[in-house]
Structure 1
Amino acid sequence: MKKTGIISTLIVAALIIGSIVWYFNTASGQRTLKNMKSNNSGGMERIVKVYSGDGELIEQYEGKIDIQDTEYGNKVLFDINGKRVVIYNATVVTEEK
């Protein structure tokens, strides 16, 4: 009886570990890992470009940037060089270096 319980526990553990390994090898899992890395290290090396409504470049930022957008999409905020930048109602394009 004990041997069956141990085998069942090992099978469940192998399935859980296999599912975790599988998930982090998917595109969604890779994005999750990148987000966790960015959150834990204060951002990633990025270029952020801010455009006006008519498509003209207003500002460009480069450096280690941690970006947080809002659920409504009208505000983007990020930290760069220890300073907080908040952008309202503009088109913001971010590129990873």
Structure 2
Amino acid sequence: MNITKRRVAFVAALVISVLAIVIVCGLAGCSSCSRSVKSMSSDFSGGINRTVTLYDNTGKEIKSWHGKIDLESNDQEVFFDLNGKRVIIQGGVVVSEED
């Protein structure tokens, strides 16, 4: 019975090790995985230091925000929190640059 428990523990450790190697190799090699990791770290840390600039349709700057920002968007708007305030942008052209 003791040998059976050891075999089960060995197989479980082997499976976990193989899965860990596959995950690390998969995340290290593809750019979409790198973007996903950066996105998750942004979610957990409250955002990335960036400058968000809003332009009108002619290219004139309307307003600019700078700080640790985690951008979110849907089909109609871009929104983020900055200094405890929610900023919602509907329309216009939004450009986000990482600092």
Task: State TM-score, norm by structure 1.
Answer: 0.82
Residues in 2 aligned to 1:91 and 1:68: alpha-carbon distance in whole angstroms: 15
The residue number in structure 2 matching 1:18 is: 21
Q: Percent identity?
A: 35
RMSD of aligned residue pairs (Cα, Å): 1.9
Q: CA deviation at 1:89?
A: 1.2
Unmatched 5+ residue regions in structure 1? none
Q: Does 1:78 align with 2:84?
A: no
- TM superposition outliers: structure 1 runs of 4+ over 2 Å: 1-15
What are the ranges of 5 or more consecutive residues in structure 2 without an aligned counterpart? none
Question: Which residue of the partner structure matches residue 59 of structure 2?
Answer: 55
* CA-CA distance at 1:15 after TM superposition: 3.0
Residue 68 (1) aligns with residue 67 (2): no
Higher helix share: 2
State how far apart, in whole Å, the 1-side matches of 2:83 and 2:9 are.
53
Q: Please tell me whether Structure 1 or Structure 2 has the larger radius of gyration of its CA atoms.
A: 2
Describe the SS at the equivalent of 1:53.
Answer: coil
Number of residue pairs matched by the alignment: 95
